[in-house]
Amino acid sequence: MDVLFYHLTESTLEEALPPLVEKSLERGWKVAIQTGSRERCDALDQLLWTWRDESFLAHGTDREEHADLQPVLLCDNASNGNGAQIRFLVDNAVPDALSGYERAVFLFDGHDVEQLDSARAHWKTMKGAGHAVTYWQQGPDRRWQKKAG
């Protein structure tokens, strides 16, 4: 499995996550987004409906009926209720079960010491488990630059 680490230094999660999810959908993948709390899950639920004036990202949460039919599913646990191929982990979400995914993506705030420490620990764990890990950091222009992997 490919495991990508995205180090946010120039934008917020709310600015960076939707375009990454959109690119995943363009690949034909279903998406799971795991948050560190139910409150964050609810906040991202609202964001994905309104993140751009001219579009939205169709999605649902794991608490709704027909979660299995959602192209993007938000949750605060390790479930894969929609059979996603890619899992985004945000806000220190714990990656309990990543088997069955083609890709896992850790997004972390470079200005939050707790998230940095958590990302470092996950990097060591994922690399130690034999996954193909890559590290991406935002440049001053907000574009992603591959730094390791």
The superfamily (CATH) of domain 2-148 is DNA polymerase III subunit chi (3.40.50.10110)
d(CA 117, CA 139): 21
Check if the beta carbon of residue 54 is closer than 8 Å to that of residue 109: no
Predicted local confidence at residue 133, as pLDDT: 97
The whole model's pTM is what?
A: 0.94
C-alpha pair distances (Å), 17 with each of 22, 91, 131 = 9, 12, 22
Predicted local confidence at residue 44, as pLDDT: 96
Check if the beta carbon of residue 84 is closer than 8 Å to that of residue 101: yes
Q: Given the DSSP bridges, would you call strands 103-109 and 60-61 parallel, antiparallel or unpaired?
A: unpaired
- Tell me how crowded residue 98 is: count the other CB atoms within 10 A of its CB: 18
d(CA 24, CA 30): 8
**pLDDT tens over the chain, length 149 residues:** 999 999 999 999 999 999 999 999 999 999 999 999 999 999 999 999 988 888 788 999 999 889 999 999 999 999 899 999 999 999 999 888 798 999 999 999 999 999 999 999 999 999 999 999 999 999 999 999 999 98
Predicted local confidence at residue 42, as pLDDT: 95
Q: What angle do CA 6, 81, 77 make, to 5 degrees?
A: 55
Predicted local confidence at residue 97, as pLDDT: 79
Predicted local confidence at residue 149, as pLDDT: 81
> What does the buried/exposed string (b/e) look like for 42-66 if buried means 16 or more CB atoms within 10 Å of the residue's CB?
ebbbebbeebeeeeebebbbbeeee
C-alpha pair distances (Å), 21 with each of 11, 32, 41, 113 = 16, 9, 15, 25
